[in-house]
Structure 1
Amino acid sequence: MATKAYAALLRGINVGGSKKVPMARLRPLIEGLGHDDVRTYLQSGNATFTSDHGDEETLAAELSEAIEKEFGFAVDVIVRDHAYLASVADACPFDAGSLEGKQLHVTYFSGPVDPERFAPVDPAAFAPEDFRLGPRELYLYAPEGLGSSKLAVALSRPALNKGLIATSRNWNTVVKLVEMTGA
């Protein structure tokens, strides 16, 4: 199998004092799983690495299991390769170049997204906020940022995301992960 570059997106760590996963400990943990070129970005659960074994699902499960063993708590992990990350950035339905990074977010899902799940959410009711779905991602335009977004709250309801792992990144992080996995 050829070596590929991946990003691991850890959900819900280092927020509000719980589920602490120091990046300085995450890097050697990933290396210990047999992966190379391990780097982290910020403290919010973004790591990149190269590997010549496994697929996205296997790599995510392996990393999640290793984190639970090392830190004593479960962490949902989504792993995506460079080609996917680049395609998400390229397919952005909003004018990313004219927006601040905090205004545009991508929610990555662990599997395909059925548009019917999100049919009950009427974007017009949240204007000027807006969202668009991709195959395994959701793009959210929140002009005042994620923290004050009523649409983000509506989109994160458990019924809409049932059976899927979902984790969001702002546009700056989306772009940085494409750069880090493309180098």
Structure 2
Amino acid sequence: MGPRIAAAPRATRRESGAAVSETEHGPAAESSVTHGERRYVALLRGVNVGGRNKLPMADLRDIFSAAGCSAVRTYIQSGNVVFQAGQDLAERAPEIVTESIRRQFGYETVVVVRSREELRQVAASNPFDTSGDPRFLQVAFLADTPDAEAVSRLDPRRSPPDAFAVRGRHVYLHYPNGVARSKLTNEYLAAQLQTASTMRNWRTVLTLLELVETP
């Protein structure tokens, strides 16, 4: 069974004052990247968790399409979006999307965007053994790069036998006994590093890479 993805329905966006019709996008329909556009992944924090912060993925796709993104797809219900956009729009997407969710659904969330090339680097740079159960590996995607002082505040003895490694805007985490009881939480990382963070398990990281690589 392949990854569970959904494509944005037909939508209309404006370019240079003219309405442009968008066709339905799916894994087979996206034949090329429009000139000037690149492929990106957007990761939302804390949506559809425990009955809180409900956000239908169809509505999320509509939000990205309305912002001007193309070839919009989502993966599972935790807020993972694959899309195409120019660099300027991709950089503004977190602010646009968080404001749209605030206005339409009434709650705050975090949106972190990575380019296809950045996600490739994430997948290639895990310092932990990736041959085991991918549920025991997580990556925290940070909104900003923490400075050395912030990184030094992370306590490697906080939650044995759990371990972490900071690599730029990413924190790789290994949870040998699972993540449920670990004290190396997303909230702890965000508080110590003083930047917003959202986490994904290794299986999701690899699936998103596969999707963003798929023409």
> With structure 2 as the length reference, what TM-score do the two structures score?
0.76
The 5-angstrom pairing of residues 1-183 of structure 1 reads 2-52=36-86, 54=88, 56-96=90-130, 98-124=131-157, 126-152=159-185, 155-156=188-189, 158=191, 160-162=192-194, 164-183=195-214
Report the more deviating stretch, 100-109 or 25-34: 25-34
Mark the runs of 5 or more structure 2 residues left unpaired by the alignment: 1-34
Mark the runs of 5 or more structure 1 residues left unpaired by the alignment: none
Among the aligned pairs, what percent are the same residue?
Answer: 36
Cα pair 2:162 2:173 within 8 Å, conserved: yes
Q: Which runs of 4+ in 1 moved over 6 A?
A: none
Change (3 A) 1:21 1:115: same
Distance, in Å, in 2 between the alignment partners of 1:51 and 1:23 is 19
Amino acid at match of 1:166: S
Change (3 A) 1:59 1:157: closer
Greater helix share, structure number:
1
Deviations 1:57-98 (A, max 9, x none): 3121111112222222222111111111110110111111x2
Deviations 1:25-80 (A, max 9, x none): 11122111111111111111111111125254312111111222222222211111
Distance, in Å, in 2 between the alignment partners of 1:165 and 1:93 is 22
Query: What count of residue pairs does the alignment treat as equivalent?
Result: 180
Amino acid at match of 2:178: G
> With structure 1 as the length reference, what TM-score do the two structures score?
0.89
Larger radius of gyration: 2
Question: What SS does the aligned partner of 1:113 have?
Answer: coil
Amino acid at match of 1:5: R
Question: What SS does the aligned partner of 1:9 have?
Answer: strand
**Cα RMSD over matched residues?**
2.0
